[in-house]
Amino acid sequence: MAPKVPPQPTLEQSTSAVDAGHGHHHAHEAPPKGIMRWLLTTNHKEIGSMYLIFSLIMFFIGGIFALVVRLELFQPGLQFVNPEFFNQMTTMHGLIMVFAAVMPAFTGLANWMIPLQIGAPDMALPRLNNFSFWLLPVAFGLLLSTLLMPGGGPNFGWTFYAPLSTTYAPPSTTFFILSLHIAGISSILGAINIIATILNMRAPGMRMMDMPLFVWTWLITSFLLIAVMPVLAGVITMMLMDINFGTSFFNAAGGGDPVLFQHLFWFFGHPEVYIMILPAFGIVSAIIPAFARKRLFGYASMVYATAAIAILSFMVWGHHMFVVGMPLAGQLFFMYATMLIAVPTGVKVFNWVATLFRGSISFEPPMLFALAFVVLFTIGGFSGLMLAIAPADFQYHDTYFVVAHFHYVLVPGAVFAIMAGVYYWLPKWTGHYPNVRLAQWHFWLSVIGVNLTFFPMHFSGLAGMPRRIPDYALQFADFNFVSSLGAFLFGFSQLLFVAVIILCVRGGKKAPAQAWGEFADDLEWSVPSPAPLHTFETPPTFQRPAH
């Protein structure tokens, strides 16, 4: 999330040690000034920064929606908002966080880092890259504008189950569908670009099994995107037709079936949750070895585990639907298949811990977030295993226990990994180290805030508090009180994150090219800090590190 791009390259700068000796100077004309520069840029670093800034803004907008929800749930009773608006807030919070904050943040990191990590001069399709970014503000501007439309914005939950999202939906739903289509196209184009870059643009000598894990996890994530985003597009197209053209895909009256909606949605939805976590695995796998001062334990098994998770993720969607009246055989199948995913996930956690074992560990900001990721993501994995037990899920389903589960895997999971990545790569982006004091404050307040918010939700869920309600029975008051306090603490401490980033862009301790020592030695650390606008115009020769 570097709001400023490295200084304008002059010819001298780009002829640095890394790309010395290149013969051709194409496309180095002075870029257009002002807003046009950002509208038209095809540079992977500038586009990466734009993705990251966009994601940060959306993170705050989605965060404000969450705080509206937590404010209302602070005490039993209806105090601040009416139930209709409450439902719009829970829905918008989920949609914005998933599609506008977490996914674009990972795409931004991919844009910035993948070409640098594989020694490519840019993404394979730079103009397409610009287009996929600019689709996002359009999509989410449209989505946010539905809140102001007659009847309000989407109010049916981020999972938009039909017929709630068709027959009973507000009139703005057609715009919701349109905005999701645009966001989906953006993700798909991004995925094609990333695959094309990774498969074709690697530095000479770099084999697939030499690629940094962030590159590997993003490659697999892109395949997931290509496989499931069209299914999402299909589902919302069916909704659109049910709403506007009188078809009955999900309408029982016309021979359709609402359960079909859930099958289609979760066929997309479960791989989608892995889309939000696999790149996080990649980031953490880069950071832990760097600060444990050891090689990553089990590189190859990490790659295979990622692939295994991706393949299995297509076979477990039914675990979201245990209570729809699935036959016993179906429940058993989805239950065992889901538990099977815990195996490759366990392999990963084992490898991170084994990397730490007897390492010479230091606790710089990226490492703090990465370590918190390992611990707290694992807690989320365990609650996932509890939910995977079909008979137990009959009790847990649609309670706050599910909310606790997915927030543990997504906030101290995906979001912490993004923050770890930002702290890790800020020196490369800005040429300065982030302010350690402030970053530590940010870290500790975030960890405390996250756990205060989400840990009590396990208990309120087990005690039977349903999710997506604006009011609740008195016995849940204490848990909700703590959750709301934690949420405000977490929310406001994110302002520190913004402060660290702005300060780091402005100045700070100068970072050398290899900013985090000899175990952070992927190709990005061979270019100067800050990375000049154009890098690797002449491909570097890849040196396999001595293992």
Partner 1 sequence: MTQSDREIRQAGVRRTIWRSVAALVGMFAFAFALVPLYDVFCRVTGINGAVDTTAQSIVHEEVDESRMVTVQFITRNGSGLPWRMEVETRQVRMHPGQTTEVHFTFSNQSGGESWGRAVPGVSPATATRHVRKVSCFCFEEQKLQAGERLELPLVFQLARDLPPEVNTVTLVYTLYPVEGKSEPLQTAGAQNKEGEEA
Q: Which of ligand HEM, partner 1, Cu ion, none has residue 414 at its interface (CB below 5 to 8 Å by kind)?
A: ligand HEM
- For ligand HEM, the binding residues in 413-452 under the rule CB under 6 A are 413-414
Question: Angle CA(395)–CA(400)–CA(404) in degrees, nearest 5?
Answer: 115
Return the range that interacts with ligand HEM (CB under 6 A); candidates 44-52, 249-257, 287-295, 386-394. 386-394
| CB of 233 or CB of 315, closer to Cu ion | 315
Alpha carbon distance 157, 526 (integer Å) = 46
Alpha carbon distance 35, 130 (integer Å) = 14
| CB of 46 or CB of 393, closer to ligand HEM | 393
Residues near 449 by beta carbon (within 8 Å), at least 6 away in sequence:
486, 487, 489, 490, 491, 493
**Candidate residues 393, 522, 524, 537; the one interacting with ligand HEM per rule CB under 6 A:** 393
- Active-site residue flag, 270: yes
Q: Which token pair is 284? A: 């953490």
Look at the block and give the residue holding tokens 């700068």.
13
Residue 240 near residue 180, CB atoms below 8 Å = no
Q: Can you give the binding site for Cu ion, defined by CB under 5 A?
A: 270
Residue 396 sits in the site that holds ligand HEM (CB under 6 A): yes
Residue 191 sits in the site that holds partner 1 (CB under 8 A): yes
Burial classification of residue 253, based on how many CB atoms lie within 10 Å of its CB (0-12 exposed, 13-18 middle, 19 or more buried): exposed
Return the range that interacts with ligand HEM (CB under 6 A); candidates 14-22, 26-34, 203-211, 401-409. 401-409
Return the range that interacts with partner 1 (CB under 8 A); candidates 252-260, 311-319, 410-418, 441-449. 252-260
Identity of the residue numbered 388: A
Burial classification of residue 30, based on how many CB atoms lie within 10 Å of its CB (0-12 exposed, 13-18 middle, 19 or more buried): exposed
Identified catalytic residue from 221, 345, 484, 529: 345
Residue 135 near residue 185, CB atoms below 8 Å = yes
**Candidate residues 45, 70, 93, 319; the one interacting with ligand HEM per rule CB under 6 A:** 319
Number of residues that bind partner 1 (CB under 8 A): 40
Residue 426 near residue 433, CB atoms below 8 Å = yes
Cα four-point dihedral sign 239, 241, 246, 250: negative
**Candidate residues 306, 338, 483, 484; the one interacting with ligand HEM per rule CB under 6 A:** 338
Residues near 13 by beta carbon (within 8 Å), at least 6 away in sequence:
7, 532
Alpha carbon distance 89, 468 (integer Å) = 10
Residues interacting with ligand HEM, by CB under 6 A?
159, 273, 276-277, 319-320, 338, 341-342, 345, 381, 384-385, 387-388, 393, 396-397, 402, 405-406, 409-410, 413-414
Residues near partner 1 (CB under 8 A) are 124-125, 167, 188, 191-192, 195-196, 199-201, 226-231, 233-235, 238, 246, 248-249, 252-255, 257, 259-260, 263-264, 267, 325-327, 330, 538-539
Give the active site residues: 93, 122, 158, 186-187, 270, 272, 274, 285, 319-320, 345, 348, 467
